[in-house]
Amino acid sequence: MKPLIGLTCSIGLEENYQYKETNYCEAVRGAGGIPILIPSFSEFAKDIPQLVRNLDGIIVSGGNDIYPMHYGEGPIQALGSVHRERDEVELEIVKECIKNKKPFFGICRGLQVLNVALGGDLYQDIYSQIKGKELEQHNHSKGTPPSNHSIEIKNDTFLYDIYKQKIGWVNSSHHQAIKKVAPSLEPIAWSKDGFVKAVVHKEIPSIFAVQWHPEKMYHKDHFSQQIFDYFIDLMR
């Protein structure tokens, strides 16, 4: 039986449609899973415990910013678009995945959701909040090179087992980042300018997240393929 993998949706600008880019679904299917889209609306949050129990694994995908009230801050001017319904659903998903030890893969925003849900916080915008330090370009978008910057990978981690070396290259597109790491998470990769780029739960290693977009490189990059293969293999 192929594992059933929930994929959280993004919300359209007019908030009357929800979607997920095809490359997420292709990456899950290519690794041997069946993708199932998870919508985000407030009334759905109460059904998350049932949903998580009936899925084999969950991917919290990339997307808009997290509302800073979830980590005790007010919004700054450089905060991007937020959707509180999506925050509510995805934070509840993290809670249930921890409770049920359900395999969880956070991608970009998904890493930030995981960190906030477990007591960490974020830079709302790294480029306006960090002064006196030259930062790499983390917020790449369309038309930019597929491998944007390097990461340093911690030894004795699943990422090191995939890359087989201390340095990897990743494609990122974010302006928020982890500031304080949640106590139950272990950082396992960093950018050259010091941002956490991957984490794993200290007690539940099947719960992990990365601050880049391996789904966009799935058909081009062997390492991106292996990250999805690793996640799906956790359920076999």
Active site residue 83: no
Q: Say if residues 106 and 208 touch (Cβ distance below 8 Å).
A: yes
* Residue 108 known to be catalytic: yes
Is 213 labeled as catalytic in the residue annotation? yes
**176 and 113 Cβ atoms separated by less than 8 Å:** no
Handedness of CA 169, 222, 115, 141 (dihedral sign): positive
Choosing from 85, 92, 96, 215, the catalytic residue is 215
Question: Rounded to an integer, what distance in angstroms lies between the CA atom of residue 38 and that of residue 190?
Answer: 30
Q: Alpha-carbon distance 218 to 34, whole Å?
A: 16
Catalytic pick from 97, 108, 138, 186?
Answer: 108
Q: What DSSP line would sit under the chain, residue for residue?
A: -PPEEEEEPEE-TTSS-EE--HHHHHHHHHTT-EEEEE---GGGGGGHHHHHHH-SEEEE---SBPPGGGGT-PPPTT---B-HHHHHHHHHHHHHHHHHT--EEEETHHHHHHHHHTT--EES-HHHH--SSPPP--B--TTS-S--EEEEE-SSSHHHHHHSSSEEEE--B-S-EESSPPTTEEEEEEETTS-EEEEEESS-TTEEEESS-GGGGTTT-HHHHHHHHHHHHTT-
- Residues with catalytic roles: 108, 213, 215
